[in-house]
Amino acid sequence: MSKSYRVAILGATGAVGTELLELLENRDFPIADLKLLASERSVGKTLKFKGENILIEPVSDRSFENIDIVLASAGGGTSKTWAGIAVAKGAVVIDNSSAFRMNPEVPLIVPEVNPQAAAHHKGIIANPNCTTILMALAVWPLHKIKPVKRIVAATYQSASGAGAKAMEEVKTQTSAILQGQLPVAQVLPYPLAFNLFPHNSPMTDLGYCEEEMKMVNETRKIFGSQEIRITATCVRVPVLRAHSEAINLEFETPFNPDEAREILSHAPGVKLVEDWQANHFPMPMEASGQDEVLVGRIRQDISHPCGLELWLCGDQIRKGAALNAVQIAELLVEKNLLKLATAYA
């Protein structure tokens, strides 16, 4: 990375935006100029980057002039409003929202899985849903050896998936309950402290919520296979940060757990965590703040000869969002793919 680049973060003050800022600094991404963009209520505040206080600016048509890369994490509506404008001004947009993920002209990328898709971008690259990213890292290395036929996923999703305000709300609710008071829910639809409930994203006609369908449709797109049968149940749990997932995989032929364990122990972005004697396997507390997705409890499915079970935990804000976006930016720079961008239609 001999060159340096002009970068803008759209949604700089959110949980993912601040993580993006930290990762760009810690990974020493080559930045010539950095622009922080956020809503009007944050304008005038500052965030620190490499010892310098960077002023937060409002978003406008002029925000993306002379910008090479936009890291967007401000919601689907905001992305739909500004992504096309940014691309028209010559920037490549790496978008963390769901706005463009299923657009056939927009690559949906997990760098450890399908980096080749970046070569086909037209100015916008979509960052997958957090639960999809975490699952893809664990399943893809096995899928390359023996194509998976069916995936059954159950997720245990932390408050961080609903943003910084949801995390604070869980803390407040916890304090209220411990003091004998009734918890108040404002960010999430129900109290999450000492509670759990199925994911509150809008329900589809299939009886699956949108979060569950994201895992189905996005995984198929990333893997380049519409034949994989996938079902998911997504649950919000009283954990502050890092999601967990129980994954059941079905293959054409048996997949030896020891072979799977060996494969995953060398897989990029994955850390094997297993201590069967101590009954110690991945936990969200240990995954929080970590780049790797922790995978363990790999075992034979006793109900199916070709079934394999595994358990994973991963930081939703980090690899499930900000880190994956920064890795895409690093991929574009490394492969000299920024100049492939054309006006997005």
Instruction: Indicate whether 10 belongs to any domain.
Output: yes
Q: What's the pLDDT at 340? A: 55
- Can you tell me the mean pLDDT for 295-321? 98
Around 19, how many Cα atoms within 13 Å sit in the side-chain half-sphere? 26
Q: What is the pLDDT of residues 134-149, one digit of tens each?
A: 999 999 999 999 999 9
* Strand, coil or helix: 320: helix
160 annotated to bind ligand: yes
Q: How far apart are CA 37 and CA 43, in angstroms?
A: 8
Q: Which amino acid is at 18?
A: T
Would the annotation count 225 as a binding residue? Answer: no
Cα(286)–Cα(282) distance, integer angstroms: 7
**What radius of gyration do the chain's Cα atoms show?**
20
Q: Are residues 109 and 205 in the same domain?
A: no
Please indicate if the annotation marks 17 as binding a ligand. Answer: no
The label of the residue with tokens 């245990």 reads 156
* pLDDT tens string 273-285: 999 999 999 999 9
Q: How far is CA 312 from CA 121, 134, 173, 235, 238, in A?
A: 30, 8, 27, 15, 17
Catalytic residues: 130, 243
Q: Is 41 annotated as a binding residue?
A: yes
Asked if pLDDT for residue 2 goes beyond 80, the answer is no
| pLDDT > 90: percent of the chain | 93
Nearest-angstrom CA–CA distance, 143 and 146 = 5
Please indicate, yes or no, if residue 148 is contained in any of the structural domains: yes
The answer to whether residue 343 sits within a structural domain is no
Q: Is there a binding annotation on residue 157?
A: yes
**Domain-embedded: residue 216:** yes
**Are residue 103 and residue 138 in the same domain, yes or no?**
no
Q: How high is the pLDDT of residue 41?
A: 87
Q: What is the number of other CB atoms lying within 10 angstroms of the CB of residue 258?
A: 9
- Do 95 and 136 have their domain in common? no
Please report whether residue 188 resides in a domain.
no
Sign for the CA dihedral angle at 236, 242, 248, 249 comes to positive
Sheet holding 229-236, edge to edge: 197-198, 229-236, 148-157, 243-251, 307-314, 293-300, 270-272
* Cβ pair 296, 310 in contact under 8 A: yes
Are residues 142 and 275 both part of a single domain? yes
- 3 state DSSP class of 16: helix
How many domains does the chain fold into?
2
Domain hosting 331: range is 5-127+322-335
Residues 217 and 298 in one domain: yes
Q: Give me the CATH number covering residue 212.
A: 3.30.360.10
- Residues 139 and 63 reside in one and the same domain: no
What pTM did the predictor assign?
A: 0.95
pLDDT reading at 334 higher than 80: yes
In the predicted model, what is the mean pLDDT of residues 115-134? 97
Query: How many residues are present in the chain?
Result: 345
Q: Is residue 299 part of an annotated ligand binding site? A: no
Dump pLDDT digits (tens) for 194-218: 999 999 999 999 999 999 999 999 9
> Dihedral of CA 332/320/136/142: which sign?
positive
Question: Does residue 182 fall inside a structural domain?
Answer: no
- Residue 296 annotated as binding site: no
